[in-house]
Amino acid sequence: MTDKQVTHSPDTEARQDAALSPPVDVVEDATGITLYADLPGVPKERLNVHVEGETLFIEADIVLELPQGMQASHAEVQRTHYRRTFNLSRELDPAKVSAELNQGVLRLRIPKAEHAQPRRIEVQVG
Amino acid sequence: MYSSQFPRDLFAQVERLQREMQQAFDTNVSPSIRGFARGYPALNVGSTPSSVEVFAFAPGVDPSGIEVRLERGVLTIEGQRAPVAAVQDGKTTVHVNERFDGRFSRVISLPDDIDPAAVTATCRDGVLRISVPRRESAQPRRIPVQ
């Protein structure tokens, strides 16, 4: 799984610039890959994870309840949209991606396809 | 370290650098005596006539594990975040590790007119919101003309 550099037409450029790139952890084990992404402030209904071809898209919006008439005096998070894309390698099964969102952390499980699962070959003693 | 010469590590480093640069340009925060540190949790602070609102972006931390203290006008947010649970059985590989883990502590100094007794803190979707009301006497008041 590798980060994807996407080339964009000028009209999508502005939107692309306006997105935060969430930090991720990617852990691989024998049966698949687990991806964790920090998406604080994102409720479940504003998270959009989808796979197109071999590309995994993570998009999400921050929803904060701001009091009326609040003036920001210090802002380290200055955008409200998260976006990050990854290239999935062929042995991963995009149809079986599962996602859960808990306390602002997205956990994605991408299992390896059947044929790519490790197989133990019995050694016959002849 | 030998492994750091491999291209993937190099790309990861370049990317981290890019992200840090982007974030550095994003903020035009005036340097404070308590440091320019941007860290975990990221903080947004806003004010209304009746309160000061602090938003701490602390994903993946149990609310009970976050300690919020207010002492002589200085608000401290402290806690600890566990690293990703990777089974050390020799069969798991960590490909990317960008998320923060470990102890964190962030400090904000609040204005003088706040009421330290009435602070509330709520946590939702990994964002801790601390609402510090201003004292009644400091709030703008309309004086009726007789």
For the segment B42-93, what is each residue's pLDDT rounded down to a tens digit? 999 999 988 999 999 999 998 888 999 999 889 999 999 988 766 566 778 8
DSSP element (H, E) containing B52: strand B51-57
CATH code, A91: 2.60.40.790
Question: Across all residues in chain B, what is the average pLDDT?
Answer: 80
- Interface check for B61 against chain A (CB to CB < 8 A): the answer is yes
pLDDT interval class at A19 (50, 70, 90): confident
Task: Give just the sign of the alpha carbon dihedral B96, B99, B102, B107.
Answer: positive
The arrangement of secondary structure in B35-138, i.e. its CATH architecture, is Sandwich (2.60)
Residue A11 inside a domain? The answer is no
**What does the pLDDT read at residue B31?**
43
Is residue A86 helix, strand or coil? Answer: strand
Give the residue from B52, B55, B64, B139 with the most A CB atoms within 10 Å of its CB, the best one to mutate.
Answer: B55
A9 within some domain: no
The secondary element (H helix, E strand) that includes residue B11 is helix B7-26
Task: Output the CA angle B27-B75-A80, nearest 5 degrees.
Answer: 35
Mutate which of A20, A33, A76, A109 to test chain B, going by most B C-beta atoms within 10 A?
Answer: A76
What is the pTM for the complete model shown? 0.75
Between chains, do B94 and A79 touch, taking CB under 8 Å as contact?
Answer: no
Residue A10 pLDDT exceeds 50? no
Name the residue type at position A22: P
Q: Does B36 touch chain A (CB under 8 A)?
A: no
Chain A residues at the B interface, defined by Cβ less than 8 Å, are 1, 3, 21, 23-30, 33, 36, 38-43, 63-79, 103-105
Omega before residue B7 within 30° of 0, cis:
no
Secondary structure, 3-state, A3-68: ECCCCCCHHHHHHHHCCECCCEEEEEECCEEEEEEECCCCCHHHEEEEEECCEEEEEEECCCCCCC
What total number of domains does chain A contain?
1
Q: Is position A2 within any domain?
A: no
- Using a CB-CB cut-off of 8 Å, the residues of chain A touching B122 are none
Judged by a CB distance cut-off of 8 A, whether residue B97 touches chain A is yes
Cα–Cα nearest to B12, from A83, A24, A7: A24
Lowest-confidence pick of A55-59, B4-8, B14-18:
B4-8
Q: How many CA atoms lie within 13 A of A119 on its CB side?
A: 8
- B47 within 8 A of B53, measured Cβ to Cβ: yes
Tokens 């540190």 belong to which residue? B37
> Which of B9, B44, B91, B129 to substitute to test the interface with A, most A CBs within 10 Å?
B44
Q: Is the pLDDT of residue A14 over 50?
A: no
- Domain boundaries along the sequence of chain B: 35-138
Q: Residue A1 — pLDDT band, cuts 50, 70, 90? A: low
pLDDT of residue B2: 47
What residues of chain B, 113 to 132, have a C-beta less than 8 Å from chain A? 123, 125-127, 129
Task: Select from B15, B46, B93 the Cβ nearest to the Cβ of A71.
Answer: B46
Do residues A99 and A107 make contact, with C-beta atoms less than 8 angstroms apart?
yes
Domain contains A4? no
Supply the range of the domain harboring residue A47. 21-65+77-113
DSSP letter for B100, please. -
- Interface confidence, given as ipTM, is 0.78
- A24 to chain B, minimum CA–CA distance in Å? 5
What amino acid occupies position B127?
Answer: V
- What is the longest distance spanned by two Cα atoms in chain A? 82
Give me the pLDDT at residue B6, please: 55
In a domain, A119, yes or no: no
